[in-house]
Amino acid sequence: MLPGQVGLDRLHAPDDTHGRDRYNNSLLRAALALPPDRAALLRLPFLDWQQFMGLCLDIYQRINWRTDHDLEGWTRAGLLANEWRVNDQQPWMLQDQFLALPAPEQSIMRQLIEAKPSLSRCRKLAPIEVFHRGQSDLVKVPTFLLPVLLGPSFGIERKVRNGCFEWQDITISPDPIRFLARTDDQQLRDGQRYLTYMNPFNPTELILCNAGGGYVGSCSPWNTPCRSDIESVHRQMGQVKKIEAELLAPVARRGAGVAREKLEMHRHNSAILAEASRLNPAVPFADPVEDCTQDLLEREHAAPPAGATDSWD
Residue 3 lies in a domain: no
- Choose one of 135, 158, 182: the last residue of a domain: 135
Quote the domain boundaries for residue 245: 231-300
Most confident listed range (52-66, 174-188, 263-277, 280-294)? 52-66
Q: 295 and 235, same structural domain?
A: yes
pLDDT tens for 57-107 read 999 999 999 999 999 999 999 999 999 998 888 899 988 888 999 999 989
Of 142-146, 174-178, 188-192, 297-301, minimum mean pLDDT range: 297-301
Cβ-count burial of 3 within 10 angstroms (0-12 exposed, 13-18 middle, 19+ buried)? middle
Give the rounded percent of residues in the chain with a pLDDT score beyond 90: 22
Model confidence at 243: pLDDT above 80: no
What is the model's pTM? Answer: 0.48
Bridge partners (DSSP) listed for residue 122? 82
Residue 122 lies in a domain: yes
Q: 213 and 160, same structural domain?
A: yes
Q: 164 and 127, same structural domain?
A: no
Q: 215 and 156, same structural domain?
A: yes
Residue 208's φ and ψ, nearest 5 degrees, are: -115, 140
In angstroms, the CA 116 to CA 122 distance is 15
Residue 290 lies in a domain: yes
Q: 277 and 240, same structural domain?
A: yes
DSSP string for residues in 11-50: GGS-TTHHHHHHHHHHHHHHHHTS-HHHHTT---SS--HH
Taking the alpha carbons of 233, 237, 240, 246 in that order, is the dihedral positive or negative? negative
In angstroms, the CA 127 to CA 132 distance is 9
> Pairing state of beta strands 193-197 and 186-187?
unpaired
- Choose one of 115, 135, 155: the last residue of a domain: 135
Q: 148 and 130, same structural domain?
A: no
Q: How many domains does the chain have?
A: 4
Residue 86 lies in a domain: yes
Q: What local confidence, expressed as pLDDT, does residue 77 receive?
A: 92
Q: What single DSSP character describes residue 301?
A: T
Q: 171 and 110, same structural domain?
A: no
Residue 224 lies in a domain: no
Q: 155 and 177, same structural domain?
A: yes
Residue 174 lies in a domain: yes
Please tell me which residue, 166 or 6, carries the higher pLDDT value: 166
Residue 310 lies in a domain: no
Residue 73 lies in a domain: no
Q: 150 and 109, same structural domain?
A: no
Cβ-count burial of 7 within 10 angstroms (0-12 exposed, 13-18 middle, 19+ buried)? exposed
In the structure, what pLDDT confidence band is assigned to residue 310 with cuts at 50, 70 and 90?
A: very low
In the structure, what pLDDT confidence band is assigned to residue 282 with cuts at 50, 70 and 90?
A: low
In the structure, what pLDDT confidence band is assigned to residue 160 with cuts at 50, 70 and 90?
A: very high
For residue 5, give the amino acid letter.
Answer: Q
